Amino acid sequence: MPFAKSIKITLLAVAGFVAVAALTLLLRQRRSVGGGMSHATAYDFGEVVQGQPVEHEFAWRNTERTALAVDTVITAYASTLLAADSLVPAGGEGKLRLRLDTRRLLGSVNELVKVRYKDPGRRPAWFLIRGRVVAPIELAPQDRVYFFTFRGEGPERELLVINHQDRPLRLNAVRSDNPRFRARSDTVIAGSRYRLTISLDPATPVGRDSARIELRTDSPQYPSLTIPARAFVDDVVSAFPSAVDFGQIAFNSIDEQVIGKKVILVQKHQGSGFKVLGATLDVPYMDVAVVAQPVGQSFLVNVTIVKRRAQPGDIHGTLRITTNDPAHPEFVLPVSGKML
């Protein structure tokens, strides 16, 4: 039957529940379709380049003996309803045509469309458009680089630069604005695929660091691409957290472990034979205990407020943890808080 123009169309942003609804839809596909309908509920468009529109027409059959009147079609924010049948006769076929705007999409896409009927006893129908949208110049597996490492290590990360344009791509240069982050490029397939290797200097100090890696290309539309890089460098031997902070706590609730107890994790990430030799605390109403963990070179230092020895007021003190590591013989952690 021809597409009716009198259908009431409501466009709502449903991105917030797309993932849950998509999963529900897929589970429903495994069961028989009730409510007098049989239809293909999902369309996978595969992979398209960002900016390329996707159109698809869904068709479904009314298996009931009475007609189905469509009341409302609700689309996700990137989908546009082009046409839809407002009435599907008994035993007849209904159609729904959609366009997906990919200009603002990137990565996996799951766009849902919900069809409501005028008969409140009829279950709504769901349709799913799914696929993957890639950038004209894609950075895979991601468009940024993270290093979670330890002092003295020099890890590397690799990205692929994949050209999806209609013309060949050439990389003219690659540079980093931070000398601790070194970048180089290699040709995998000339004009279409390149490998970018980013390495972190082993001398990078403990803490956080960052860089911007810039790719210069011969593409008129994309002459420059920027890749953010982040490094989180921990010491080989570390104590976490670096302070014993109780915050503001109720004095009458100190006996609850989540309130009156803090735990420090001390561990060594390289080598063997590491031990925590002891821990001392200069707060008279607190107890401290060291507990070795069964796996790996790690220890828990438990700091507990003993209520019968404590009084309301400010908490000030110092926790000292001694180890057998020559480079990290002692950790000194401030102890703070307030008992109300």
Q: Is the Cβ–Cβ distance between 89 and 136 less than 8 Å?
A: no
Average pLDDT, the chain: 87
Residues 116 and 26 in one domain: yes
Residues 38 and 145 in one domain: no
pLDDT confidence tier of residue 274, bands split at 50, 70 and 90: very high
From 217, 234, 251, the end of a domain falls on: 234
Residues 37 and 123 in one domain: yes
- Greatest mean pLDDT among 82-91, 159-168, 264-273: 159-168
For residue range 94-135, what is the model confidence (pLDDT) as tens digits?
A: 899 999 999 999 999 999 999 999 988 888 889 999 999 999
Is 174 a member of any domain? yes
Q: According to the model, what pLDDT value does residue 261 have? A: 94
Residues 121 and 142 in one domain: no
Order of strands, sheet of 37-39, starting from the edge strand that comes earlier in the sequence: 37-39, 54-62, 93-100, 79-84
Q: Tally Cβ neighbours within 10 Å of residue 107.
A: 11
Cα gap 104→128, rounded to integer Å: 18
pLDDT at 335 over 90: yes
From 100, 134, 168, the end of a domain falls on: 134
Residues 207 and 272 in one domain: no
Q: Report phi then psi at 47, rounded to 5.
A: -130, 130
Q: What's the whole-model pTM score?
A: 0.68
Beta bridge partners of 121: none
User: Which whole-number Å values give the CA distances from 234 to 149, 208, 241, 245, in the listed order?
Assistant: 6, 9, 12, 21
Structural domain range at position 219: 137-234
Instruction: Name the domain count of the chain.
Output: 3
- Over 286-309, what HEC string results? EEEEEEECCCCCEEEEEEEECHHH
Q: According to the model, what pLDDT value does residue 40 have? A: 54
